[in-house]
Amino acid sequence: MVSESSIIFDRVDFSSILNRIRTATTVGIQIPDGLKYYTSHISDFFRNAGFNVIVSGKPTYGACDIDLDLLSEVDYLLHFAHTKMVEMDRVIYIPYKVDYTIDTELLEKNIDERKISVIGTASYAWKFEEIKRDFEDAGFVVELKKGNGVEYPGQVLGCNYTCLRGLESDAVIFIGDGDFHPIGAALITGKKVYAYSPLSREFKTVNTSDFLKKRYLAISKAMNSEKFGIVVSSKIGQKRLELAFKLQKLAFERGKKAEIIFMDEITPSMLDNFRFETYVNTACPRLTFDDFNRFSGRMISPEEFEIVVGIRDIDDYGFNV
């Protein structure tokens, strides 16, 4: 591979991919927005190896989001930067692996508990067997479990924290970037969660109170709503129509109006045209929690809707994992 793309894909076994696609004429390349800059380096590589290349212009949120239109035009779709979520014959997943080390001295000094569970997103979790040994050498007892539908032990997705089911540790440490996953882990486990970024060396104890304040506000607004839009994504790994019908039934039973809206790209401007008072998002949870302000605080999760219609207690606030 050329040098620039090597920065992020130098742990990819490109020769085994070439071997897998050797009978292909045309390959598709799908890559998330944040890495699209590298697309032409990657497509040059496959073109030089003798393939026609078509690049997906769609945003790509996760492995839940396979470009099926492009797949129908190519022999193989190379889906970069995510691990497999949906098994599909002609889709090859090529994860993005960040190489890193941890500062065990800093972690040993700042983590009070000694029995910990290690979690992180795929780009960090690929190295967790080695990281586990580092923690153990520093005196920790480490719980490292593989969840359902993920590639690596300790791997979490914004919609999948199953590696934390039956947690026995006293605390959780999230290794990676951003607040979303550690907040999710804290709400699901009720345990103390630490977040550590190996790249910035930033370490913190996760605080869920600001997040919860915003969510309680959204729930209380939704309680005054009469008309709900129940949003379903057509993306292959996000589609939850059965859940949408269940939620619609709950609304109808309470005399509320509720329409199921089926769409690919879920954007504020597209929802604005419907003018519902509250939207219940059955698709990617990050739309509800991370993009809260973009949707003017009018989007809630299925679990929050259950609170709104009175079948879940507010104290039982949680994510569905």
Minimum CB separation of residue 86 from ligand SF4 in Å reads 10
Angle between helices 180-189 and 209-223 in degrees, nearest 10 = 80
Residue 64 interacts with ligand SF4 (CB under 6 A): yes or no: yes
Residue 185 interacts with ligand SF4 (CB under 6 A): yes or no: no
Minimum CB separation of residue 43 from ligand SF4 in Å reads 24
**Alpha-carbon distances, residue 263 vs 57, 126, 256, 260 (angstroms):** 18, 33, 22, 10
Site string for ligand SF4, 6-45 (x = CB under 6 A): ----------------------------------------
Closer CB to ligand SF4, 111 or 188, in the complex = 188
Tokens at 187, concatenated = 């709400």
CB neighbour burial string for 304-313, b if at least 16 within 10 angstroms, e if fewer: bbbbbbeebe
Q: Which residue has the tokens 């569970």?
A: 117
Tokens at 306, concatenated = 């259950």
- Under rule CB under 6 A, which residues in 227-266 are in contact with ligand SF4? 237-238
Closer CB to ligand SF4, 36 or 114, in the complex = 36
Q: Which residue, 162, 174, 38, is CA-closest to 96? A: 38
Closer CB to ligand SF4, 30 or 238, in the complex = 238
Residue 61 interacts with ligand SF4 (CB under 6 A): yes or no: yes
Q: State the number of binding residues for ligand SF4 (CB under 6 A).
A: 11
The answer to whether the beta carbons of residues 248 and 230 sit under 8 Å apart is yes
Minimum CB separation of residue 64 from ligand SF4 in Å reads 3
The answer to whether the beta carbons of residues 88 and 30 sit under 8 Å apart is no
The answer to whether the beta carbons of residues 175 and 120 sit under 8 Å apart is yes
Residue 163 interacts with ligand SF4 (CB under 6 A): yes or no: no
Q: Which residue, 55, 122, 52, is CA-closest to 94? A: 122
Q: Which residue has the tokens 């593989």?
A: 146
Q: What are phi and psi of 29, to 5 degrees?
A: -120, 125
Minimum CB separation of residue 62 from ligand SF4 in Å reads 3
Residue 62 interacts with ligand SF4 (CB under 6 A): yes or no: yes
Residue 286 interacts with ligand SF4 (CB under 6 A): yes or no: yes
Give the rounded distance of the alpha carbon of 308 from its chain centre.
Answer: 25
**Region from 62-70, 245-253, 257-265, 307-315 binding ligand SF4, contact rule CB under 6 A:** 62-70
Closer CB to ligand SF4, 286 or 312, in the complex = 286
- Under rule CB under 6 A, which residues in 140-159 are in contact with ligand SF4? 157-159
- Between strands 91-94 and 52-55, the pairing is unpaired
Site string for ligand SF4, 265-284 (x = CB under 6 A): -------------------x
Site residues, ligand SF4 (CB under 6 A)? 61-64, 157-159, 237-238, 284, 286
